[in-house]
Amino acid sequence: MLTSECICTHLRRAARGVSRHYDEALADFGINVAQFSLLRHLQRLDQPSITSLAEAMGLDRSTLGRNLRVLEADGLVTLGEGSDQRNRLVCLTEAGKACLAAAHPAWEQAQLQLVEHLGESQRDELVRLLERLA
C-alpha cells in the first residue's frame, strides 16, 4: 500500500471500510447504511420537505432525490405534496418504519463493534475531529 499524507485519501479509505462494515450488518434487511441513515432522519424529522431533509443530511437535492427514488420503489417512503410543486414532503411508510425497527439492532451491533475496536475515548475524539472538519 502506498503511504500518503493526504487527509482526504485517509478519510475516504476509512469511510469505505466503515460503510462496508455497516452495509454487511444491514444486508439481511435489504438496505445499506446510507439508506438506513436516510430512514432514521425521516423518523426524527417527521415528514420533512426534500430541501430540509437534504440540509439535515448534508446532501444536495439531486443526490437525495436519487436515494429517495430507490426507497420509494421499495415502498419504504412516499413523496407527498408540500406547499408548492418544488417543496415535496417525504414520508416514512409503515413498511419503512418496520424495516427501520427490524434493522436497528443490527446497526447497534455494528456500532458497538466499532466502539469496541476503537475504545470509547478514541471514538469520542474521532467524532470531535470529524465534526471539526465538517
Average pLDDT along the chain: 93
Domain boundaries, the chain: 31-133
Give the domain 31-133 fold.
Arc Repressor Mutant, subunit A (1.10.10)
Specify the pLDDT at position 74: 97
pLDDT tens digits for range 50-94: 989 999 999 998 999 999 999 999 999 999 887 666 678 999 999
Query: Which of these, 26, 19, 39, lies nearest to 114 by C-alpha position?
Result: 19
Do the beta carbons of residue 90 and residue 48 sit within 8 Å? Answer: yes
Quick one: pLDDT at residue 88? Answer: 84
- pTM summary value: 0.88
pLDDT digits 0-9 by tens, 101-127: 999 999 999 999 999 999 999 999 999
Instruction: Write the CB contacts of 91 (distance below 8 Å, at least 6 apart in sequence).
Output: 42, 47, 77, 78, 79, 80
pLDDT of residue 80: 87
Q: How far is CA 109 from CA 24, 103, 105, 115, in A?
A: 11, 10, 6, 10
Four-point Cα dihedral 26, 32, 33, 34, nearest 10: -160
Q: How confident is the model at residue 84, as a pLDDT?
A: 66
- CA-nearest of 93, 84, 81, 90 to 52 is 90
